[in-house]
Amino acid sequence: MKKIIFICMIALSLFACKSADPNALSTKLDKSSQVAIKGNWILTSVSFPGSEYIKVTSFDIADSKCFVGSNWKFISNNNKGSVSLNAADCTGYESAIVWSINKQGLFVLKVLDEGLKSKKVKTGYLLTVANQTENSFQLIDQITVGGQAKSVTYQFQRN
């Protein structure tokens, strides 16, 4: 059975989606990058060209603006964690996650519905890890909207 990972974003009335074949991904983990991300983080900004015109639904959960100020916990020894959204004017949200960083520099993320184990979740998200320091890092998603490539950058700061 071939698994496909889908990443979708909504832009006005245009749909932009990409898929990746996880069989083509490196399964070797970048342990040093993972250990560096271990801990509690706050997502401080989400930026992308055209943000005043394009609505982005991040991780099929909520509008990207609702992720600003969200709390993320990354546990590196078992690749588990959590995400919690608490922005004003947004619906609160909390979920367990499973994550890893592979040798290709890709951040692999699965958001787990309550009661589901990660092996039962067939979809996830691939983002590029960038500008990683002791106290900050970025996750960058490359999408196509209206035939144009766009980067969505999620900026994290250590909490």
β-partners of residue 11 are: 14
> Comparing C-alpha atoms, which of 97, 107, 150, 152 is closest to residue 129?
107
Q: What is the rounded average pLDDT for all residues in the chain?
A: 82
Confidence tier at 25 by pLDDT (50, 70, 90): low
Confidence (pLDDT) at 119:
66
Give mean pLDDT, residues 89-105: 94
Which is higher by pLDDT, 91 or 119? 91
Cβ-count burial of 134 within 10 angstroms (0-12 exposed, 13-18 middle, 19+ buried)? exposed
